[in-house]
């Protein structure tokens, strides 16, 4: 597994879509001819993607990507991304696909396509234990941290009228903001809340409001129908044989929903 890092600004999905070339005629054949996968992963979003004590990539998405590469009998290059640039990197051909806690939502479906889901993630509002947050009205006047360009950003922006939305470039920076008291509340996932609590903040964070529950899937370019079909076959095979559930449970401490495993 080879790690490659590209740097890019957080360009909106719709803006990049206007500039992007159409999907390659057959990305699946391109992958097979190259004999290597180029997979976009976010290594700043634990437990989905991170680095261990020896700076090796790890996390549930990293293991999922490695399982795919092993199943297809080829090595992979990691194309490192952040939440804001997942769609731009995909559309401009820097990666064959995105495996990065990539939740499926209406806005993204306008410009890219997805495999069938291989996991689920909640978008939540969380805050220090003991802080009362009864409803969305209670968010007015609060500093709410979120990761720029994420589904959490979109969901909280639509709901938190009168709040000060503080956007950070990645989950790691958001976590630091939580620990250091830069924000009153956060719009994120339960996994990021757990990561922050593992760093022993003065007061542990807890979920206050569950905004939505999303499936997440492998992001691909529109028109890559052969690649989508191959990925769907792989997803269903590895949900049924339990390998994707084992990865999910290892990093998230729970099983996937039962209806995903049938």
pLDDT digits (tens, 9 = 90+) for 47-82: 999 999 999 999 999 999 999 999 999 999 999 999
Q: Which residues contact 214 (CB under 8 A, 6 or more apart)?
A: 103, 104, 105, 120, 121, 122, 123, 151
pLDDT digits (tens, 9 = 90+) for 215-227: 999 999 999 999 9
Burial degree of 45 (CB within 10 A; 0-12, 13-18, 19+):
buried
User: 1 pLDDT band (50/70/90 cuts)?
Assistant: low
- In CATH, what number does 2-118+217-260 get? 3.40.190.10
Q: Is 32 helix (H, G, I), strand (E, B) or coil?
A: helix
Per-residue pLDDT, 20 = 45
How do the domains of the chain map onto residue ranges?
2-118+217-260, 122-213
- In CATH, what number does 122-213 get? 3.40.190.10
* Mean pLDDT to the nearest integer, 13-41: 73
Task: Please tell me whether the overall predicted TM-score, pTM, comes out greater than 0.85 for this model.
Answer: no
In the chain, the percentage of residues whose pLDDT exceeds 90 is 83
């Amino acid at each position: 597994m080879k790690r490659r890092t590209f740097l890019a600004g957080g360009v909106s999905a719709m803006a990049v879509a206007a500039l992007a070339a159409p999907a390659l005629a057959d990305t699946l054949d391109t992958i097979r001819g190259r004999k290597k996968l180029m997979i976009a992963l976010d290594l700043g979003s634990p437990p989905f993607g991170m680095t261990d004590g020896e700076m090796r990539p790890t996390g549930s998405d990293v293991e999922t990507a490695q399982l795919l590469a092993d199943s297809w009998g080829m090595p992979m290059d990691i194309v490192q991304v952040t939440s804001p640039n997942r769609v731009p990197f995909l559309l401009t051909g820097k990666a064959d696909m995105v495996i990065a806690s990539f939740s499926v939502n209406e806005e993204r479906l306008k410009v890219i396509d997805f495999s069938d889901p291989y996991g689920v993630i909640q978008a939540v509002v969380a805050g220090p234990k003991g802080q009362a947050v009864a409803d969305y009205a209670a968010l007015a006047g609060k500093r709410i941290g979120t990761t720029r360009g994420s589904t959490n950003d979109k969901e909280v922006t639509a709901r938190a009228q009168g709040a000060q939305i503080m956007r950070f470039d990645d989950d790691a920076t958001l976590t630091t903001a939580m620990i250091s008291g830069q924000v009153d509340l956060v719009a994120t996932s339960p996994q990021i809340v757990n990561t922050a609590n593992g760093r022993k903040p003065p007061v542990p964070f807890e979920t206050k409001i569950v905004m939505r529950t999303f499936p997440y899937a492998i992001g691909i370019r529109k028109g890559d129908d052969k690649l989508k079909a191959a990925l769907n076959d792989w997803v269903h095979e590895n949900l049924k044989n339990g390998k994707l559930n084992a990865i999910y449970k290892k990093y998230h401490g729970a099983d996937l929903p039962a209806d995903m495993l049938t």
